[in-house]
Amino acid sequence: MANRKYNIKKIILLVLLLGITVGGGIAYYIFNMPHIDVQAQKADYTVSTTALVSEYLQDEKLANEKYLGNEGDSKIFVVTGTVKSMDINLNNQKTVLLQEDADKAGVMCVFMAETNAHAAEIKIGEHVSIKGIIRSGANYDEDLELYENVLLEKCDLVKE
């Protein structure tokens, strides 16, 4: 009898220990969870720059609702368009603006340290496809007095 009691105690203790280990492990993982690897994910949408920009200029609210995530986990796009300009930001990331001549705004694509070399292959006037995560949409800003572009980050060139 005493032996059985001892065994039950042992089992409870083991279960508790297992619970703490698994629970602690999950908590540790959540606390230190990695950032989303955009390039490893499947694209949610494949569109032309013209289509994405005009969707935003028609109804920004609706487009935000559709494309932006609640916790920054926004949609991943492959956007195709003409390279209008290229630059480099203060984080040494290459930026490529895809915009058609007839459009009021374009899609600004920000590359990463890992993909910067691919952006170097791109030339102005070229027609390319770029994959990235959307951070904000296009709109006319009355204070800036200009059209803001759609912003994609963590970008890479999609090879056809």
Output the smallest distance, CB 26 to another protein, in A.
Answer: 13
Closest CA to 77 of 46, 39, 105, 51: 46
Site for another protein in 72-111 (CB under 8 A): 72-74, 87, 89-91, 93, 95, 108, 110
Q: Using N-to-C axis directions, what is the helix angle for 60-67 and 49-58, rounded to 10°?
A: 120
In three-state secondary structure terms, 112 is coil
d(CA 159, CA 129): 8
Compute CA 148 distance to the chain's CA centroid, rounded to the nearest angstrom: 18
33 binds another protein (CB under 8 A): yes
* Binding segment (CB under 8 A) for another protein, from list 2-10, 11-19, 38-46, 141-149: 141-149
Up-side HSE of residue 143: CA atoms within 13 Å toward CB? 0
* The token pair that represents 3 in the structure block: 């032996």
Output the smallest distance, CB 117 to another protein, in A.
Answer: 19
Residue placing its CB nearer to another protein in the complex, 8 or 68: 68
d(CA 79, CA 43): 10
3 binds another protein (CB under 8 A): no
58 binds another protein (CB under 8 A): no
123 binds another protein (CB under 8 A): no
Q: Note the residues at the interface with another protein (CB under 8 A).
A: 30-36, 61, 64-65, 68-74, 87, 89-91, 93, 95, 108, 110, 135-137, 141, 143-146, 148, 151, 153
